[in-house]
Chains A and B, each alone.
Chain A
Amino acid sequence: MLVWFYRLLLHFYPARYRSPFGGEMADVFELAKARAWSRGATYGMAFCVREFAGLALGAVHAWARQSKDPAQPAPSLTPAFDGVPTFYTCEDYSPRRSALIQGGILSLAFFSAVTAAFEYGVNHRVFYMPAGAARDTGQSQVIETGEAGFVAFGKSMVSSDDGALVLVLGKHPALTAIDIGPAARNISEAWSNLVWFLRVRPDIRLLAPGPFQAAAPARDREDFAAVYFRAMPVVAALDADHDGVISAAEIANAPAVLRSLDKNHDGKLTAEECGGSVVPGSDPQATKRAKLAYMHFHPVLAALDADHDGEISAKEIENAPAALKTLDQNHDGKLTLDEILPKAGVMVR
C-alpha cells in the first residue's frame, strides 16, 4: 500500500526526472521500508514521515530545477579573505516568474481548502440551545441560537431540505412566519402549530411574530429521547407500551401499527402521515425536497422507506419488521434510543 502510494506521489515529479529515476526510487523505497519497519513501529513511522516529506521537497526542487533559466548568470562571489572558506547553504537557482506565480496560486488554493474545511467543521457542530435563549421583543419573538442548535415548535414535525435537523422544545400555537435568514430562505414559509426539527447555524436567527412561550428545552440526551418518542408519530405508535423501547413484539406488530397511521386508507404512508407538515402554497419542489429530507432524516422512516422514494408503500409496510431489525445494531431484538435517534440529535456542548 505504501509503495503504491509512493509510486503515486512520484507523479508529482517532472516527467523528465521521473522517467529515469522513478522506478529506481520506488525499488529503493521498498527495500528501505522493509528495513525500517524491521526495527520497530516507531522507526517505521519516522521513516514514512521522512520519506514522504523528502519526496514532497524533492518534487519541489525538481520542478524548480526544471524551471531554472539556463541562461541566468551565476552570482558573483566575494573572494574569501584571511584564508577562511566561504560557506553556502542554498542552491543558486532562481525559479522563473511563471513558476512563482503557479506556486503562489497552488499555495492559495491549498490555504483556501484548509480554511474551508475548518469553517465547515465549525458550522456543522451541533450544540444544544440553552434555556432562556428565546426572548420576547414585543412585536416579534426572536430566538438567537448563538451556536448551532436544536429548535422545534408546536406539535408536529417538519424538516428542512437544508440538511441536518435540530430540536428545541417549545409551543407556539399561532406561529405564522419564520425568518431563518438568507442562508435558508427557501424554507422560510408560514408554519402553524408545529414542532420543528431544524439545524440552526450560528448565523441564523429565528423570528417568530406574536406571542411565544418557550418551553423548557430538553436538558440532556435522555430528556431529548423521551420527547422524540412522544413527538415522532411513527415511533410513538410503534412503542405501544410507551416504555422508550421498541420491543421484539412491537417490531413484529409494526405492519398493523403502520396501517393504523394510513389516514386516507390508500395503503401507503406519506411524509404527512408520518408526521411531516406540509406548508400550504409552498413551492412544490421545495415541498418535495422537504418531504424526502424528512423521510431520510429519521432512521426509522429511512429504514422503512426502503426504496427512498419518500413514501412507505404497502409492500414496505408488510416488510416493516425486517426493515426495523436492520436498525438493531447490537442484535438484542429490540430498538433502543441510541438505535433510532437521528444522528443529528446527539447534543454536544
Chain B
Amino acid sequence: MRSIMKTGTAAPLSEPVLLILLSLAEQPRHGYAILKDIEEMSDGRVILSTGTLYGALGRLLDDGWIERFEEQEASRDRQAYRLTAKGRAVLQAEVARIRQLTRLASLRVSAKEA
C-alpha cells in the first residue's frame, strides 16, 4: 500500500491507518491517547489493540508519514507522535478520495431512485 503511495498513485488507506492519521491531524498524541481518540471518533465501533496500533505506527514511521518525539509536558518520559508534512498530504489526498467517492455514490444512488 505504502509503496503505491510512494509512486504517487492514490490508494485507499486501511481504516486503522486513516483513523490514526485523523487522530494525529488534530494534535500530537501518545499511544494511549490515540487509542482513546479512535474509540471516541468511531463511537466505540473501532477499538484497536495495542498490537494493531503499534504495528500501524511502526509502518507510518517507516514511511515518514508521522514522527516520534518525546513529550515535554508529560510527568514522565513518554513518546508521542505527530503528523509530518508528508503524512498530512497523504491524509488530505485520502479525504479528497473519499469525498470523490461519496459524491459519485450520491449521484448514482439518486439517479437510480429517479
Contact = CB atoms under 8 A, between A and B. Distances in A.
Interface residues of A, number: 32
Given A17-B58, A62-B58, A86-B11, A29 B4 contact: no
A58 B54 contact: yes
- Range for the number of chain B residues in contact with chain A: 20 to 34
A59 B51 contact: yes
A83 interface: yes
B31 A91 contact: no
Interface string B43-59: 00001111111110111
A57 B51 CA distance: 7
B95 interface: no
A74 B12 contact: no
Interface in A50-78: 50-51, 53-59, 61-62, 65, 74, 77
B1 A25 contact: no
Given A32-B35, A86-B11, A61 B101 contact: no
A92 B4 contact: yes
- Chain B binding surface, main DSSP class: helix
A21 B58 contact: yes
A85 interface: yes
A50 B47 contact: yes
A28 interface: yes
Which of A21, A56, A77 has most chain B Cβ within 10 Å?
A: A21
Given A57-B52, A84-B104, A91-B1, A21 B57 contact: yes
A31 B78 CA distance: 13
Interface of B: 1, 3-4, 6-7, 9-12, 14, 31-32, 35, 47-55, 57-59, 78-79, 97, 100-101, 104
Given A24-B54, A28-B53, A56-B51, 13 more contacts: A25-B50, A29-B50, A32-B35, A32-B50, A53-B49, A57-B51, A58-B49, A84-B101, A84-B104, A85-B101, A87-B12, A88-B1, A92-B4
